[in-house]
Amino acid sequence: MNVTQLSAFVTNKPGHLQKVLKVLADENINIITLTIAETLDFGILRMIVNDPDKGYQVLKEHNITSSITDVLALEIDDTPGSLYNALDVFANLNLNIEYMYAFTEKREGKAVMIFRFEDIEAAKKALNDKGYNIVRKIDIIGENK
């Protein structure tokens, strides 16, 4: 099981991002973390939410172009060099990271990074081989203490 990311197409103008956030808020969808990739004309809002399927449905109902994608959620130590070492695993296998971002919350000295890969299974296998902890279900973060 992979962590799923909810993405939405947003025009790069005042008020547009808010429109998306309002739809999610009204439906009680909680955003756990998010990142925006922006261009001159538009941005792509990428979110980890508590209920991605419902989030996708409500955005769709409001004519907001969105999609659901599998992403890799990787737990690493919150120490200097940890991310560097993790990326080594991908570089050695020539696996290109499409994009990545970090979780805002930390627990017990651990950080969580989100990665987008063309071939997520290859990346997971590589990490498993090296003994990394892949987060399988995002809503357990912070609860599984």
Partner 1 sequence: MFNREIESMPVNKMKELQLERLKWSIRHAYDNVPFYKKKFEAAGFHPDQFKSLDDMKRVPFLTKQDMRDNYPYGLFAVPLSKVVRVHASSGTTGNATVVGYTKNDVNVFAEVVARSLVSYGVSENDVVQIAYGYGLFTGGLGLHYGSEKLGALTVPMSGGNTPRQLMLMQDFGTTVFCSTPSYALNIADFIEKNMPDFKIESTKLRIGVFGAEPWTEEMRKEIEQRLKIDAYDIYGLSEVIGPGVSAECKEKNGLHVFEDHFYVEIIDPDTGEVLPEGEKGEIVYTSLTKEAFPGIRYRSRDITRLYHDGCSCGRTLVKMDKVTGRSDDMLIIRGVNVFPSQIESVLMGFEGTEPHYQIVVDRKGSMDDIEVMVEVNEKIFSDEIKVMNNLSKNIADRFRSSLGITAKITLVEPQTIPRSEGKAVRVVDKRKGESE
- Residues of this chain that interact with partner 1 (CB under 8 A) are 5, 7, 9-11, 16, 37, 39, 41-42, 44, 46, 60, 63-67, 69, 98-99, 116
Q: How far is the CB of 117 from partner 1 (least distance, A)?
A: 11
Residue closer to partner 1, measured from CB, 9 or 132: 9
Give the shortest CB-57-to-partner 1 separation in angstroms. 13
Least distance to partner 1, CB of residue 63, Å: 5
Residue 95 or 107: the one with the smaller Cβ distance to partner 1 is 95
Q: Which three-class secondary structure string do you get for the chain? A: CCEEEEEEEEECCCCHHHHHHHHHHHCCCCEEEEEEEECCCEEEEEEEECCHHHHHHHHHHCCCCEEEEEEEEEEEECCCCHHHHHHHHHHHCCCCEEEEEECCCCECCEEEEEEEECCHHHHHHHHHHCCCEEECCHHHCCCCC
Least distance (Å) between residue 86 CB and partner 1: 21
- Cβ proximity to partner 1: between 8 and 76 the closer is 8
* Closer by beta carbon to partner 1, 44 or else 102: 44
